[in-house]
Chains A and B, each alone.
Chain A
Amino acid sequence: MSAAVGVGQQWVLVEMVQAFYEAPAYHLILEGILILWIIRLIFSKTYKLQERSDLTPKEKEELIEEWQPEPLVPPVPKDHPALNYNIVSGPPTHKITVNGKECINFASFNFLGLLENEKVKSAAQASLKKYGVGTCGPRGFYGTFDVHLELEDRLAKFMRTEEAIIYSYGFATIASAIPAYSKRGDIVFVDEAACFAIQKGLQASRSNIKLFKHNDMADLERLLKEQEAEDQKNPRKARVTRRFIVVEGLYMNTGDVCPLPELIKLKYKYKVRIFLEESLSFGVLGEHGRGITEHFGINIDDIDLISANMENSLASIGGFCCGRSFIIDHQRLSGQGYCFSASLPPLLAAAAIEALNIMEDNPDIFQTLRTKCEHMHKALQGISGLKVVGESFSPALHLQLEDSSGSRENDVKLLKRVVDYCMNSGIALTQARYLEKEEKCLPSPSIRVVVTVEQTEQELDKAASLIKEAAQSVLN
């Protein structure tokens, strides 16, 4: 057998040699050239590499020598509108001394007037006496105090959720909560008017961000539908892509409420979780001050996560998130602002607890606030040159220019003159401040008018008529 194969192979070889002899000369020459060509192709570089020679040490030194960095910070012009702060002497309460002038405060978010409440102060005093000021550690390392646990418990009960978690800084609350859940590759649908803390949380999460027009449910649904179509193309990816809607209860930048009932419908239709920022609506809306869910009569369990700060209605410092334990507990190891920051000073937690007590004991306070907001909203209508932006029951209203002068800088200056005019006559106001280059969708310049329960009807009317007067003198 093997011999036969051997013979066969030999025969092929002989045939080849024979064919070689018999082939015409031009054929051989052509083949020879082709072979040489192939060899050339193999061994020669077909493209010219860029002239690449390493830099000599001397050249390197020259480059280092030559490099001139920009200054660490550009110089700030002395008249920069944000450089010279208003300075408040004494507490920023209902009666406030701004730049040496006594005014009635229409600028601080002290909606329920708890900042100067004696009960709150004495609760804080008692805590100071027992715990001192700082906690000297994060929650994990002996920074958890009994007052923190009590406050979390009380907040959860107040909001009627399973669990609450507190942060030591209002801004850090939603900014830490979002990236705890939403990661790279996940999708977040977010309202254009969302506040800066939400924007920073989204940036930290590195998720895909889809902005929808402010409070425009049709636009949101369009995006959700687009995403649905996308998901059908790639169902495997869709199964692991988490999706969230992030909205505010009462928008800081516009004073509007979000259409929560419609959002809930969309949530179940498209299986998207809802995160709700309630810093302005907590302790303001609803019969008991539970916020936007109570305002609309919505089951709070339909919202996946609620976040709010304790720096407005509660007149303390810090923030909290609440919801079901399944969701909230995750932040205890994944909320960066929770794990890696010192915990809230106990006296501030004690003040917040006392503020909650007051809110629970006086549910009328929310109706009072609402009445005053509506009064103010009405009183501010019809000022020539200024339009009121925001719901009638929002305690923070925006006054924007009816007609922009064309440049933001000029608009800001005009509004500043209105603010200064009022301040000189005893009404403390402020413009809403933004970092113009950092905002995703920069809101129009505005004066923010804050209504609190402490302002009397006369004071509200006085402020409104003063603003009218100021607008007349500045804008016309």
Chain B
Amino acid sequence: MANPSAVCNGHLHHHHHQKQNNLLKSGVCKKNGITKGMKKNGVSNGTLYKKTFIEHFEQAPMYVAVLTFVGFGVGTIFGYLRDFMRAWGLEKRNIAEEREQQKDFVPLYQDFENFYTRNLYMRIRDNWNRPICSVPGPQFDLMERVTDDYNWTFRFTGRTIKNVINMGSYNYLGFAETEPNALKTVTKELQKYGTGICSTRQEMGTLDKHVELEKLVAKFLGVDDAMVFGMGFATNSMNIPALVGKGCLILSDELNHTSLVLGARLSGATIRIFKHNNMQSLEKLLRDAIIYGQPRSRRAWRKIIILVEGIYSMEGSIVRLPEIVSLKKKYKAYLYLDEAHSIGAVGATGRGVVEYFGMSPDDVDVLMGTFTKSFGAAGGYIAGKKDLVDFLRTHSHSAVYATSMCPPVAEQIIRAMKCLMGLDGTTQGLQRVRQLGKNTRYFRRRLHEMGFIIYGNDDSPVVPLLLYMPGKIGAFARRMLEKNIGVVVVGFPATPITESRARFCVSAAHTREMLDTVLNALDELGDFLQLKYSRYSKSSHPELYEETRFELED
């Protein structure tokens, strides 16, 4: 029943149309189906995909799901017990209290709202917000902190934990660096401009630096024009409302980032959710939307916009762009693509998923991305046709009400982008992109071989490793830190309740030795914590991961 599942591409492939539709309906590709089907799709022309597209979402054995629920159950029961004890004064209350003068106000928080935080999150709180005191490069220094009251408060010991391998930061291309030569221009611009702007883009906050950056971004992406904004999150939440409104329909992937969700909500448009990366679900919504129009009034929708991300940060999956583009063309919808994690991180020259699939930037109506990740800076952009960008210049909430981007940050983006484009006269940028690809595939392949369940696309530098049980979240992250490795762990509510996970972000700056250190530690810990849930037989791996493929891309 719970076969190891992997989703493979090619269901729009003509030769296998029927067979593959069936496969998709059942949601499961049999092992043989994958390897053979894939090879064929990989070579043949006339498909939407120019190369193999493999994504894994292996299901855990049933006992894991049961134990996970048992874990949450036990945690909840103890939570109630301790709440009871706190209420009766049997246990010390560590929670900050309402002011005496305001005790008769309506309570600011409902008691149950914080039950989860108080009783489950608090047990493992030491694994988040770990303060660092160095550049977030391939290795960083952590400030050591201890707790005397079971994570209610932390105390710094004054020591630092040096050279922790950083598997958590989104430093995909390694541009988070302090090498003085690399930062020469940034230093210069900081000296020239200072840090602030003290105005908005539409008033007195458009600097020559912004104009330069916008031209470069447009050139990098191969589009008419681009506009940059001071914060990645706000790029979504403050621009989507300018593009759509009442009477428009937003079709949004169920796993879209909060900023997209917020932007969609603020727009006042109707929002419908399709299953993650599921083209049947999207097509059905598109068809129904056009056929039946708006609810009640039955008026036709003014426009339909599809919101998707390039790489999903919690799943490691890559958007099925070719299929989405063909759907959006067929149904005359618009496509808004958020490349927060994918720009710089995939594609032969780092131009994101559009390049990864060998498509034209014209296929996507709104290209959005952030500079926080691959570029080691801050902020975001929206790029596309001149009409679009002109409209945003006049109607973006951000352009009118928010302070524009800080000039040294803009310079960091410019230098990273020029490096990627080879405008600095070296091939360093290209090397970084290639190194990232190599590191990603190596890291993923080894984890597969060890028998972990990892999610997502083989080319995605975001690597989620499934832990499932709530107790293992804390144990995993603490043990890894003992081995001087900094990892990110995530649980409910950021993931489904049964799918707690650790997430690694591979970087071009990671050396093979660093990755091997991490992998060895994971191997050991995987046995100790019994995390190797995968039921792929080891023998199938040589089939799935032919060495030749890696060598070709080296």
- CB proximity to A under 8 Å, residues B469-527: 486, 488
CA distance A242 to B371 in the complex (A): 38
- Most B C-beta atoms less than 10 A away, residue of A107, A143, A336: A143
Can you name the residue of chain A whose Cβ is closest to the Cβ of B238? A171
Question: Does A449 belong to the interface (CB within 8 Å)?
Answer: no
CA distance A140 to B324 in the complex (A): 33
Can you name the residue of chain B whose Cβ is closest to the Cβ of A67? B290
Nearest Cβ on chain B to A7's Cβ, whole angstroms: 63
Q: Are B191 and A125 in contact (CB under 8 A)?
A: yes
Chain B residue numbers with a CB within 8 Å of A149 are: 131
CA distance A134 to B397 in the complex (A): 24
Question: Does B291 belong to the interface (CB within 8 Å)?
Answer: yes
Q: Are A136 and B372 in contact (CB under 8 A)?
A: yes
Nearest Cβ on chain A to B437's Cβ, whole angstroms: 19
Q: Are B108 and A60 in contact (CB under 8 A)?
A: no
Q: Are B233 and A340 in contact (CB under 8 A)?
A: yes
Q: Are B234 and A271 in contact (CB under 8 A)?
A: no
Q: Which of A98, A145, A271 contacts B132 (CB 8 A)?
A: A145
Chain B residue numbers with a CB within 8 Å of A348 are: 195, 406, 409
Q: Per-position contact with B for A249-279: 1 when CB-CB < 8 Å, else 0?
A: 0000000000000000000100111000000
Stretch at the interface among B17-25, B216-224, B299-307, B419-427: B299-307
Question: Does A133 belong to the interface (CB within 8 Å)?
Answer: yes
Q: Which of B106, B196, B370, B390 contacts A241 (CB 8 A)?
A: B106
The list of the 3 closest CB pairs from A to B, nearest first, reads: A315-B196, A73-B391, A169-B231
CA distance A30 to B301 in the complex (A): 57
Q: Are B204 and A98 in contact (CB under 8 A)?
A: yes
* A146 in contact with B131 given A134-B377, A137-B136, A345-B409 (CB within 8 Å): yes
Q: Are A140 and B128 in contact (CB under 8 A)?
A: yes
Q: Are B168 and A141 in contact (CB under 8 A)?
A: yes
- CB proximity to B under 8 Å, residues A63-97: 63-64, 67-76, 80, 82-83, 85-93, 96
Q: Per-position contact with A for B216-258: 1 when CB-CB < 8 Å, else 0?
A: 0000000000000011111001100101000000000000011
Stretch at the interface among B4-12, B55-63, B206-214: B206-214
CA distance A64 to B334 in the complex (A): 15
Question: Does A333 belong to the interface (CB within 8 Å)?
Answer: yes
* A324 in contact with B99 given A135-B136, A145-B133, A181-B108 (CB within 8 Å): yes
Question: Does A230 belong to the interface (CB within 8 Å)?
Answer: no
- CB proximity to B under 8 Å, residues A131-181: 131-137, 139-146, 148-149, 168-172, 181
Can you name the residue of chain B whose Cβ is closest to the Cβ of A148? B131
Q: Are B211 and A130 in contact (CB under 8 A)?
A: no
* A136 in contact with B266 given A91-B193, A92-B197 (CB within 8 Å): no
CA distance A448 to B203 in the complex (A): 10
Q: Per-position contact with A for B372-402: 1 when CB-CB < 8 Å, else 0?
A: 1101111000000001101111110111111
Q: Which of B98, B198, B205, B290 contacts A63 (CB 8 A)?
A: B290
Question: Does A380 belong to the interface (CB within 8 Å)?
Answer: no
Nearest Cβ on chain B to A196's Cβ, whole angstroms: 5
Q: Are B232 and A342 in contact (CB under 8 A)?
A: yes
Pairs A–B under 8 Å by Cβ, sample size 27: A63-B290, A82-B400, A85-B206, A88-B206, A88-B208, A89-B207, A89-B208, A90-B208, A92-B204, A109-B199, A114-B196, A129-B187, A132-B176, A134-B136, A134-B372, A143-B136, A145-B133, A169-B230, A172-B234, A195-B401, A315-B198, A317-B197, A329-B96, A341-B259, A342-B170, A345-B406, A432-B203
Can you name the residue of chain A whose Cβ is closest to the Cβ of B207? A88
Q: Are A92 and B257 in contact (CB under 8 A)?
A: no
Stretch at the interface among B74-82, B177-185, B350-358, B447-455: B177-185
- CB proximity to B under 8 Å, residues A26-70: 55, 60, 63-64, 67-70
- Most B C-beta atoms less than 10 A away, residue of A75, A91, A315, A332: A91
Question: Does B554 belong to the interface (CB within 8 Å)?
Answer: no
* A134 in contact with B412 given A88-B208, A317-B230, A428-B204 (CB within 8 Å): yes
Nearest Cβ on chain A to B281's Cβ, whole angstroms: 17
CA distance A148 to B99 in the complex (A): 27
Nearest Cβ on chain B to A252's Cβ, whole angstroms: 9
Question: Does A322 belong to the interface (CB within 8 Å)?
Answer: no
CA distance A265 to B224 in the complex (A): 56
Q: Are B169 and A142 in contact (CB under 8 A)?
A: yes
CA distance A240 to B110 in the complex (A): 8
Q: Which of B186, B204, B211, B333 contacts A128 (CB 8 A)?
A: B186
* A136 in contact with B170 given A342-B378, A428-B204 (CB within 8 Å): yes
* A133 in contact with B186 given A110-B196, A142-B169, A345-B406 (CB within 8 Å): yes
Question: Does A398 belong to the interface (CB within 8 Å)?
Answer: no
CA distance A110 to B456 in the complex (A): 47
Q: Are B191 and A121 in contact (CB under 8 A)?
A: yes
Question: Does A360 belong to the interface (CB within 8 Å)?
Answer: no
Q: Are B372 and A342 in contact (CB under 8 A)?
A: yes
Question: Does B342 belong to the interface (CB within 8 Å)?
Answer: no
Can you name the residue of chain B whose Cβ is closest to the Cβ of A117? B194
Nearest Cβ on chain B to A33's Cβ, whole angstroms: 43
Chain A residue numbers with a CB within 8 Å of B407 are: 91
